[in-house]
């Protein structure tokens, strides 16, 4: 009997586990049992292509989603003039879902699945790698990570991401997401219903800011009734140098952690889940064992794409930061100019949807 182990209980871990048990693979999940440590102000954006994969291969989550049909990008340096606009009249560009809702739904399904078994992370000292064909490590804070997966290319943005959900008067066509590159960092307004919108504001410096005041400053269309809890977390990016050790594969944020300005962190992990699912399916279809060769094949297939994609996100952040520091609007005007080209605009949209295809 083939058996896999997943270390960690975050959204990536649970999504991967559900994909595996759907294939009839036995999975042990080592969890700290504090499943809902994530606050209820966090949301994630999932691209159209990743949503199609999630709903088909992992779990149908359509009832939790709020579709976004248009994205508008602004810059302080152009007096809040629009510099980019993405719109698809035929289908949504992406959808927003609350972390809490997705995690709770995945857990409810996994706990009822006969192929899934949750184990307490506190019993990790009894863990034996020989008990599993393949171990997938999504946990950045355990003995295996500290011993085998500590070599990373790291970057500290000296910034904090501040998150909140605003309740506002009903806006029936609340399907337009916007992001403004301000002098302090990017702020995103991400609708999640006709009466609620999620805010993510990445601000340089310490985490003591007047977030409510800043949100009100950049809010141009919502009549705010109430703010949720305001939560902050430090911003860092990293890329792991080696993806595996023997039959242990690093995964999720342990592989690549991004600045949230493009909302691509979970999308990258979903593309990784799709890739490893395809590798596992190939093995099973050909009667082959699941072993360390999957780790080798996965790294060859994804590492270069993940690094280039994460570097491109960092590139955008640094250029807008440089432009802001120089009080210059050259970069914004250049993007505005090229964004008017339909081919280039579609290319930007396809990269956000599909990732890099190389």
Question: Where in the chain are the domains?
Answer: 3-155+235-354
Q: Between 345 and 224, name the one with better pLDDT.
A: 224
| 3-155+235-354 homologous superfamily | FAD/NAD(P)-binding domain (3.50.50.60)
Q: Is 301 helix (H, G, I), strand (E, B) or coil?
A: helix
CB atoms within 10 A of CB 135: 25
pLDDT for position 115? 96
136 with 243: CB under 8 angstroms? no
pTM of the shown model? 0.90
Question: Are the beta carbons of 313 and 260 closer than 8 angstroms?
Answer: no
Give 4-35 as a DSSP string: EEEE--SHHHHHHHHHHHTTT-EEEEEE-S-T
The arithmetic mean of pLDDT across residues 264-272, rounded, is 94
Residue 294 CA: distances (Å) to CA of 148, 267, 306: 18, 21, 17
Contact 230, 212 (CB under 8 A): yes
Across 155-178, average pLDDT: 94
Query: Which tokens hold the place of 333?
Result: 């005007």
Distances (CA, A) of 141 to 3, 228, 237, 249, 266: 23, 29, 16, 15, 19
Q: Is pLDDT above 60 for 343?
A: no
Of 79-93, 191-205, 302-316, the poorest mean pLDDT is in 79-93
Query: What band does 239 get if pLDDT is binned at 50, 70 and 90?
Result: very high
Strands 134-137 and 3-7: parallel
């Amino acid at each position: 009997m083939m058996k896999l182990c997943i270390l960690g209980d975050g959204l990536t871990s649970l999504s991967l586990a559900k994909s595996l048990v759907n294939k009839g693979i036995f999975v042990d999940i080592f969890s700290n049992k504090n499943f809902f440590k994530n606050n209820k102000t966090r949301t994630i954006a999932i691209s159209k292509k990743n949503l199609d994969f999630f709903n088909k291969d992992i779990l149908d989550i359509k009832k939790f989603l709020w579709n976004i049909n248009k994205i508008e990008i602004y810059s302080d340096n152009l007096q809040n003039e629009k510099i980019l606009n993405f719109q698809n009249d035929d289908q949504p560009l992406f959808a927003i879902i609350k972390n809490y809702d997705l995690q709770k739904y995945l857990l409810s399904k996994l706990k009822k699945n006969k192929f899934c078994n949750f184990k307490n992370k506190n019993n990790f000292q009894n863990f034996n790698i020989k008990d599993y064909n393949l171990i997938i490590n999504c946990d950045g804070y355990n003995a295996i990570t500290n011993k085998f997966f500590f070599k990373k290319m790291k970057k500290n943005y000296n910034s904090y991401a501040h998150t909140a959900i605003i309740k506002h008067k009903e806006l029936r066509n609340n399907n337009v997401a916007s992001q403004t590159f301000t002098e302090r960092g990017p702020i995103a307004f991400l609708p999640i219903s006709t009466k609620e919108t999620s805010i993510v504001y990445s601000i340089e410096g310490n985490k003591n800011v007047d977030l409510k005041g800043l949100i009100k400053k950049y809010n141009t269309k919502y009549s705010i009734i109430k703010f949720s809890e305001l939560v902050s977390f430090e911003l860092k990016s990293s890329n792991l140098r080696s993806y595996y050790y023997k039959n242990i594969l690093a995964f999720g944020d342990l592989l690549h952690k991004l600045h949230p300005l493009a909302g691509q962190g979970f999308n990258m992990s979903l593309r990784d889940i799709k890739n490893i699912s395809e590798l596992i399916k190939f093995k099973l279809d050909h009667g082959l064992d699941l072993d360390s060769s999957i780790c080798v094949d996965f790294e060859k297939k994804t590492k270069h794409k993940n690094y280039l994609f994460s570097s491109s996100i960092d590139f955008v952040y640094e250029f807008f930061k440089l432009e802001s520091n120089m009080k210059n609007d050259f970069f914004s005007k250049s993007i505005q100019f090229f964004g008017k080209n339909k081919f280039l605009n579609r290319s930007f949209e396809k990269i956000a949807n599909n990732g890099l295809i190389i």
